A and B are shown apart, each in its own frame.
Chain A
Amino acid sequence: MNDKKEASLVLQNVSHSYGATAVLKELTLQVNAGEVVVLVGPSGCGKTTILNLLSGYIQPSSGTVHKTGIIRTVYQQDGLFPWLTVSENIDMGLQPIGNTTQRTKERKELVELIHLEGFENHYPHELSGGMRQRVELARALAGRSDILLMDEPFSALDYQTRLRMRLELVRILKQRPRTVVFVTHDIEEAAQLADRVLVLSNRPATICRELVIGTARPRDLTSGTVIETMKEILQALGLPQ
C-alpha cells in the first residue's frame, strides 16, 4: 500500500547557526526506511532545528540534506486548522488522491484508525488535546506520506493521556508503517518508542550517544529494556539518577 523503500533522510556534515549562535555543528545523521528514530537532548539544544532542516522549512548554513519521499510533521499543538472540521483537516492530507470515492474511503479508514468515529464534523476546539493530536496524526498519515516528523507531539498532554497516546502511536504505526523522526525531551517516550535513540549534546548539538533498541513494540513502561534504556539515556545526558 505504501512503498517506503524510497523513503530516506540523510543529514551530512550539517552545521547551522542563527546569527552568531551555532546550533548544530557538523552533524551527520541517517534515518533508514521504516525506522523510528527518537532524538532526545537538553532543551534548546537544536532538536527542533534538526526537524526544520529535515522538513525543508530552513536550509542549513553548511552541509547537505538528502531526502526522498513525502514528509509530514506532527506538531506539539495547534497544528490543525481551527476553521476546518476533523474531516476537512484530514482531507488536507488526502489532496494527492484525485479520485473522490477513493478519498472518501481513505478518510473513513483514517477516522476509524484514530477511533474518532462520530467526530468527523467537529471542529478542533471542540475536541480534547489527545483527540486533536490523533487527528493531526491521521492528517500526516493520509495520502502517500512516507516520513513523519514528530515535534514533541505529546508533550502538551497530561501524563495519562500521553501514556495512552504512545500506545496509540505504536498501534497505528503497526497498521501504517512509516519512517519516523520523533523529537522529545521525555526519556520514557524515547525508551518506549524508538528503534534507535540519538542523545544530543548541548548547543552546538552533536550526537553524543546512539542506542539501538532491538525489542519489539509495544514495550511495557516498567519492562527491563525500557528501564535499562532510560538509565543509559540519563547517563548520556549527564543527569544524576
Chain B
Amino acid sequence: MINPENAIRKRKTAGILLPVAVLVGFILLWFIVSYTNLFPAYALPSPASVVKSFKEEFQAGRLVNDIIASLWRVAVGFVLSAALGIPLGLWLGQHVYARKAFVPMLNFFRFLSPLAWIPFAILWFHIGDKPAIFLIFMATFFPLALATMSAVATIPSIYFRVAKEYNYTGWDLLTKVTFPSVLPQVITALRVSYGISWVVIVAAEMVGCQDGLGYGIWEARNGLRLDSAVCYMIVIGVLGMGIDRLLAQLTKLPNVRWGYER
C-alpha cells in the first residue's frame, strides 16, 4: 500500500536527515583523523581547537566585526553592479548595433579574473572598504550585464507585438513588458554573481583590508593559527549558503514562477 501523504512526509524527512547524516559523518571523520594524528596538529587543527577558537574570536568581538565588514562590502559592491549592470544589459539587449559594438569588450573583462585588478584596486583606492567594493564590482558587473542582455535579446517577439497592440511605449514598455519578461533570468544571474562576489571578497580582503572574513583568514595564516582559519572558513561557507537561500526566495515570487516552470 502506497499512501501518498506518507510518501511526501518520508521524502521531507529524508531531505533533512540525509544531509545531516553526511555532515555528522564528515565531522566524525575529522575527529578520527585528528585524534589518530594522521596529520600533525599544526597542519590539521582538531575540532576541539576550532570550537575553542570560535569562542575566542566571538568573545573578542572580532568575528562579528569581520562578518559585518564583509557583508557590507559585498552588499555595496553587489548593489552597485546590479544598479548599473542590469540597466546596461536592458539597453544592450534592445540595440543590435550597441551589442555588436560592446559585447566583445564586455566579454574580455568578464574573462579577466577580478583578482587581476588587485594592484589597481590598491593603487587607486588604498586600504579599506573601497578596494574590496571595487573588486566585487569588477567581478559581478560584466556577467550581470551580459546575462541581462542575452535574456532581453531572446524575449519572444510576440510579447512586443502584444505590447504594441495595447499601446505600451517607452517607459511603460520597458517596465511592464521588457523587464518582467527577463526577471526570472535576471534573478538567476543575481544568484550566480552573488556566488562570485562571496568568493572574491575573501581574496580582496586578504590584500586590501584591515578587517573582514578574508582578512581574518590571512591573520590566522600569519599567526599560524589554522584553528582560527578553519573557524573563519566555516563562517564563510555557512553565510554564503544562507544568503543564497535568501536570494532563492526571490524565485518563489508569484510573478516570476512561470520562468522556472516551463
Contacts and interface: CB of A to CB of B under 8 A. Distances in A.
Nearest to A77: B158
Interface stretch (B110-118, B136-144, B242-250, B251-259): B251-259
Contact of B166 (A75, A83, A92): A92
Bin the interface of chain A by size: 10 to 19
A93 B255 CA distance: 19
B156 A83 contact: no
A42 to B, nearest CB: 23
Contacts of B166: 92-93, 95
Interface residues of B, number: 21
A83 B256 contact: yes
Contacts of B262: 125
Given A81-B159, A125-B257, A125-B258, A72 B167 contact: no
Contact of A73 (B161, B254, B259): B161
B258 A83 contact: yes
Interface stretch (B20-28, B40-48, B83-91, B175-183): B175-183
A123 B158 contact: no
Contacts of A57: 161, 164
Contacts of B5: none
A49 B143 CA distance: 39
B165 A81 contact: no
Nearest to B255: A83
A78 B156 CA distance: 9
B239 interface: no
Nearest to B162: A79
Contacts of A44: none
A83 B262 CA distance: 13
A125 B254 CA distance: 11
Contact of B165 (A72, A78, A83, A124): A72
A144 to B, nearest CB: 13
Interface string A73-107: 10100110111100000001101000000000000
Contacts of B258: 82-83, 123-125
A71 interface: yes
B152 to A, nearest CB: 15
Contacts of B254: 123
A155 B177 CA distance: 26
B255 A84 contact: yes
A55 B158 CA distance: 13
Contacts of B177: 81
A170 B164 CA distance: 27
B221 to A, nearest CB: 48
Contacts of A75: 158, 161-162
B165 A125 contact: no
Contacts of B256: 83
B154 to A, nearest CB: 14
Contacts of A83: 180-181, 183, 255-256, 258
A55 B244 CA distance: 46
Given A55-B165, A82-B181, 9 more contacts: A71-B165, A75-B158, A78-B156, A79-B162, A82-B258, A84-B180, A92-B166, A123-B254, A124-B258
